[in-house]
Amino acid sequence: MSDRVATLRSRLTSWDSIIVVLTVLVLVVASFSVDNFGTSRNFTFMVLDLLPIILIALPMTMIIVTGEIDLSVASTLGLTSSMMGWLWNQGLSIESIIPLCIVIGAVCGVVNGFLITGLGLPSLAVTIGTLALYRGLAFVVLGDGAVADFPFDYTGWVTGTIGGGAVPNVLILIVALALIFGIVQHATPFGRSLYAIGANAQAAHFSGIRVARTKFWLYVVSGAVAGLVGVLWTLRYASARADNGAGLELAVVAAVLLGGVSIFGGKGSLPGVLAGVVLLTALQNALRLEDVSGQALNIVTGTLLVLSVLLPNVTTAVRGNWQRRKLRQAAATR
């Protein structure tokens, strides 16, 4: 009985649940106090803004849980966008370009994965390197120009809603992928092994977990997802450009950390991350509707991030202190 209460209390005071509550709070307050926030038009915009961050955050969460990082995702996105424009100019059909782009993203992931797990280089250094490399390649492919004449069937689908109603088409994609990644991360042996790897790679190795192979495939998946997002991004703005998605990796990492995933690995949950992404996007959207400047938006995002790292530590410290004081008082009155 008291066991269950204790479990419940520790679950309720864990950062992932705090962030979920905070997110709901922001959504509710914003829809009452910010004009136009609750409209279906704004909802569609918000989902479209959310789309790239949330999709890339799915594999990023797994990678950070294993104690690694992938900073090359936004550049992979840019490269696939460039390739998409170039292939379109070569006259390939859109039906063959889309899977090709996902493969290109996966190949970018293979390169990262090989450098990190095959050669044993640190992922931070490798993916900073490929961040520059892939973006450079994107400019080699397409230069400063843009390709814009993609078929409306596709661009319209990305920005459209189901039956012209309030639910954006891409929301289905988000929900489906989030479900798949959530189940894999939280209810499969593979997902379990990620936490073991992040918290103690040696013990994971001694338990028969193939640490290097697992990490390798995570990078491949991360690349493929970045490729898919490159396609969606290009279609949304109907514009293939080499600089598409520049800087997005920071937003993704920020959202993942805000969602309670430890940058040191071994800790975090996908629901927390999803809430983190929604919180960041909703807050930015609401502030923008209130005509807050871009710089101020950055300040808010940054502050949230620092708080997300700070608060969990503060709460445990406070809790410990409080308990000690109570025990001392009890002893004094005994």
Partner 1 sequence: MAEANARPEDQPTRRDEQPAEAGDGTAAQPAARSGDRSGARSGDRPARLEVHDVAKSFGAVAAVQGVSFPLYPGEAHALVGENGAGKSTIVKMLAGVHRPDTGTLRVDGVDVDFGGPGDAKAAGIAVIYQEPTLFPDLSVAENIAMGNQPLTKLRQLDRKAMNANAERLFRRLGVPLDPARPARGLSIADQQLVEIAKALSSEARVLIMDEPTAALSAVEVERLFSVVRSLRDEGAAIMFISHRFEEITALCERVTIMRDGKHVATELVADLSVDDMIRRMVGRDLSALFPKQDVDPGEVVLEVEGLSREGVFKDISFSVRSGEIVALAGLVGAGRSEVMQAVFGVDPYDTGTVKLHGRRLKKGSPRAAMAAGMALVPEDRRQQGLVMELSIERNVTLPRARKLARLGLLFGGSERAHAHTWTQKLQTKLGRLSDAVGTLSGGNQQKVVLAKWLATGPKLLIVDEPTRGIDVGTKAEVHRLMSSLAADGLAVVMVSSELPEVLGMADRVVVLREGRVAARLERAEATEESVMYAAMGQEVAA
Which one of residues 1, 2, 95, 120 is an interface residue with partner 1 (CB under 8 A)? 2
Interaction mask 146-185, partner 1, x per CB under 8 A: -------------------------------------x--
Interaction mask 223-262, partner 1, x per CB under 8 A: ----------------------------------------
C-alpha–C-alpha distance, residues 144 and 81, integer Å = 13
Under rule CB under 8 A, residue 331 binds partner 1: yes
CB closer to partner 1 out of 45 and 190: 190
Which one of residues 192, 303, 317, 322 is an interface residue with partner 1 (CB under 8 A)? 192
Which one of residues 202, 291, 295, 306 is an interface residue with partner 1 (CB under 8 A)? 202
Under rule CB under 8 A, residue 120 binds partner 1: no
Place of tokens 């940054």: 302
CB closer to partner 1 out of 113 and 266: 266
Which one of residues 100, 133, 177, 199 is an interface residue with partner 1 (CB under 8 A)? 199
Which one of residues 120, 163, 164, 208 is an interface residue with partner 1 (CB under 8 A)? 208
Q: Per residue, what are the HEC states of the chain?
A: CHHHHHHHHHHHCCHHHHHHHHHHHHHHHHHHHCCCCCCHHHHHHHHHHHHHHHHHHHHHHHHHHCCCCCCCHHHHHHHHHHHHHHHHHCCCCHHHHHHHHHHHHHHHHHHHHHHHHHCCCCHHHHHHHHHHHHHHHHHHHHCCCEECCCCHHHHHHHHCEHHHCCCEHHHHHHHHHHHHHHHHHHHCHHHHHHHHHHHCHHHHHHCCCCHHHHHHHHHHHHHHHHHHHHHHHHHHHCCEECCCCCCHHHHHHHHHHHCCCCCCCCCCCHHHHHHHHHHHHHHHHHHHHCCCCHHHHHHHHHHHHHHHHHHHHHHHHHHHHHHHHHHHHHHHCC
CB of 216 to partner 1, least distance (A): 15
Instruction: Give the Å distances, CA to CA, from 74 to 10, 41, 226.
Output: 36, 27, 7
CB closer to partner 1 out of 173 and 199: 199
Which one of residues 100, 133, 169, 205 is an interface residue with partner 1 (CB under 8 A)? 205
Under rule CB under 8 A, residue 318 binds partner 1: no
CB of 68 to partner 1, least distance (A): 17
CB closer to partner 1 out of 37 and 195: 195
Instruction: Give the Å distances, CA to CA, from 108 to 70, 112, 152, 211.
Output: 11, 6, 29, 20
Under rule CB under 8 A, residue 209 binds partner 1: yes
CB closer to partner 1 out of 205 and 236: 205
Interaction mask 5-34, partner 1, x per CB under 8 A: -xx---------------------------
Under rule CB under 8 A, residue 215 binds partner 1: no
CB of 264 to partner 1, least distance (A): 10
* 282: nearest Cα among 95, 100, 80, 22: 22
CB closer to partner 1 out of 116 and 209: 209
- Contacts with partner 1 by CB under 8 A lie at 2-3, 6-7, 183, 187-189, 192-193, 195-196, 199-200, 202-210, 266-267, 323-324, 327-328, 331
